Structure 1
Amino acid sequence: MNWTDNVVMRALSRVCDFILLNILWMICSIPLFTIGASTTALYTVMLKIVKNEEGYIVKGFFRAFKDNFKKGTIIWLIMSGIGIVLGFDVRLVSGMEPPIRTVFQGIFTILGFIWVCAVIYVFPLTARYENTIKNTLKNALLLSVAKLPYTILMVVVTAGPVILTLLNTRTLLIGITLWLVAGVSLVAWVNSFMLHKVFGIFHTNEN
């Protein structure tokens, strides 16, 4: 097998890994309240993949899912609860008269951005480090500010495809297909490259 064939085979193998991880993530997220544990498991594997340290994909995913089930679920319930409250407040504010509406919309836009940033960091942190839920949430917020350029890039990588998917009926159909095949795992993969650099701030505490 020549060099070109080897590269092609490795690329195809990696694509298969992403599709498999995407399927595992979706299946384990079906009850909805398990999305946190499922996302944590996905990042556990992805953070190893970007360092070329992955082992058995399926075994690694389910081990991480089991090990982080309680913590991941609690964090997900906390973050989703905050998200629901923010969403309700935004709807409430939309019925106000300007300029009060404009002021509150600005406030909730900032709070919503902070919430998205925290969600992006909190599950990878859970996947990578042993810590209390309180400290994990605190570190997610601190990293959002301390590594703002990476944070903005990850927000774009995470939210951008979602926005594009919702543009119109055509993009919705294409987007849903891509999300079902490998969309979630691809977003996690791209983010994991940046997270690997971001987590350098904790290098002295790495396991």
Structure 2
Amino acid sequence: MVDPNSRTWQALGLAADVVVVNALTIVCSLPVVTAGAALSAAHGTLLEMVREEGAKPARTYFSYFTRTWRTATLGWLLLLAVGSVLGWEYWALGRMDGGAALVAQAGVLAGAILVTLWAVWFFPLASRGRGSPAPRS
């Protein structure tokens, strides 16, 4: 248990690296505009950690952040715009009376689910970025 190469110490090291990546993602997401790049960088870094390709999570994170900044930020701004419109529509329909408004709100929620699914697909794809290594099979 005291041996630094034991499974316990390796698991604790991996957990510490995940905490570092999480903290970097939170700090880099504070300016709302860069949240997309932060999410993509976190995905790429964690993927490398799982594949045991890198030992420096901060350096890897900022490498992915700079490589994927443009694509991920444009996707994030698109997501913010569509999410804002969907949120406004849901709010406006909630102020209306009748069953048609309820049906329309259900449609807006379905659209929000589709946008969320798109985001779950897009940010990992953006983490591959231009010049980043392709995933190994």
| TM-score for the superposition, normalised by structure 2 | 0.87
In the aligned structure 2, how far is the partner of 1:47 from the partner of 1:98? Answer: 48
Larger Rg: 2
1:45 alignment partner in structure 2: 45
The question of whether the paired residues in 1 share the 8 Å contact of 2:18 and 2:46 is answered with no
Q: Calculate the aligned-residue CA RMSD, in Å.
A: 2.1
In the aligned structure 1, how far is the partner of 2:115 from the partner of 2:71? Answer: 18
| TM-score for the superposition, normalised by structure 1 | 0.59
Q: How does 1:68-83 map to 2 (within 5 A)?
A: 68-83=68-83
In the aligned structure 2, how far is the partner of 1:59 from the partner of 1:129? Answer: 16
Q: Structure 1 residue 80: deviation in Å? A: 0.8
In the aligned structure 1, how far is the partner of 2:34 from the partner of 2:120? Answer: 16
Q: Which runs of 5+ in 1 are unaligned?
A: 131-204
2:29 alignment partner in structure 1: 29
1:99 alignment partner in structure 2: 99
The question of whether the paired residues in 2 share the 8 Å contact of 1:129 and 1:206 is answered with no
1:146 alignment partner in structure 2: none
In the aligned structure 2, how far is the partner of 1:66 from the partner of 1:106? Answer: 39
The reply on whether 1:123 has 2:120 as its aligned counterpart is no
In the aligned structure 1, how far is the partner of 2:40 from the partner of 2:33? Answer: 13
Q: Aligned in 2, Cα 1:127/1:7: closer, same or farther, shift over 3 Å?
A: same
Q: Structure 1 residue 128: deviation in Å? A: 2.4
The question of whether the paired residues in 1 share the 8 Å contact of 2:68 and 2:129 is answered with no
2:6 aligns to what SS in structure 1? helix
Matched-pair identity in %? 24
The reply on whether 1:14 has 2:24 as its aligned counterpart is no
In the aligned structure 1, how far is the partner of 2:44 from the partner of 2:107? Answer: 34
In the aligned structure 2, how far is the partner of 1:49 from the partner of 1:69? Answer: 20
Q: Aligned in 2, Cα 1:107/1:84: closer, same or farther, shift over 3 Å?
A: same
Q: Structure 1 residue 23: deviation in Å? A: 1.1
1:54 aligns to what SS in structure 2? coil
In the aligned structure 2, how far is the partner of 1:55 from the partner of 1:129? Answer: 20
1:56 alignment partner in structure 2: 56
**CA offsets 1:20-73 (integer angstroms, 9 cap, x no match):** 111111111111100011111000111222222234211110011111111111
In the aligned structure 1, how far is the partner of 2:101 from the partner of 2:38? Answer: 37
Q: Structure 1 residue 206: deviation in Å? A: 5.3
In the aligned structure 1, how far is the partner of 2:71 from the partner of 2:96? Answer: 38
Q: Structure 1 residue 106: deviation in Å? A: 1.4
Report how many residues are paired. 133
* Structure with greater proportional helix content: 1
Q: Which runs of 5+ in 2 are unaligned?
A: none
In the aligned structure 1, how far is the partner of 2:50 from the partner of 2:135? Answer: 16
In the aligned structure 2, how far is the partner of 1:54 from the partner of 1:120? Answer: 24
Amino acid at match of 2:108: F
